[in-house]
Homo-oligomer: A and B are copies of this chain.
Amino acid sequence: MTSALGYALLGLLARRPRTGYQLAQAMRRPIGYFWTASHSQIYPELARLEGDALVRHRVVAGPGPRDTKRYTITAAGKRALTAWATTPAPPEATRDEFLLRLYSLWLADPDDARTLIAVERDRHRAALADYERLGAELAEAGPVHPDTPAFYDRASVRRGAAFEQHVITWCDWLLEELDRSEPTTD
């Protein structure tokens, strides 16, 4: 009944209580995290979670000018989250707009194709740098145990970095392949 977004919010609240605004901030950039949502989705979902007694809120004075609702996960919320986390996800369809463009790139001028692939590679280089910075920060704390968030945080950063690395390698390989069969017009 609870959606993936609901479990994403529960996952954040299981680590520490937050306001809707703080949850929205945490879900803007999915670095070290793999889901995003905007505040317009988050506020109604929090109300639904509260209706199901998976979270509770208390009005507190925030750092800003107005009062804010501090949400906490309940024991029932933790149970529901744990049960969901250990259930294999239904197989998802791969949706990758870059690969979709690649599928029709045989129609294009090879120089335009090269530009597209180089832009993609540079994006993944930037993402890799982010993951490496994050990984370095997380590594400082020393060894961690699987019953702490840090254990899986490190694991997902490692996965992200490895993924970016492999895409960069593939982009470079593809650019070389293009040069091999269709040398640049420079």
B residues in contact with A91, CB < 8 Å: 123
B178, A110: Cβ atoms closer than 8 Å: no
Copies of this chain held together in the complex: 2
Please report the total number of A residues contacting B with Cβ < 8 Å.
Answer: 73
Task: Summarize A's interface: helix, strand, loop or mixed.
Answer: helix
Task: Give the residue among A34, A35, A182 with the most B Cβ atoms within 10 A.
Answer: A34
Contacts of A34 in B (CB 8 A): 94-96, 99-100, 103
Known: A36-B93, A94-B34, A166-B166. A101 touches B120 (CB 8 A): no
* Binary contact track A14-37/B, C-beta < 8 Å → 1, others 0: 100000000000000010011110
* A74 on the B face (CB < 8 A): no
Provided the pairs A91-B123, A162-B166, A170-B159 are in contact, do residues A146 and B99 lie with their beta carbons within 8 angstroms?
A: no
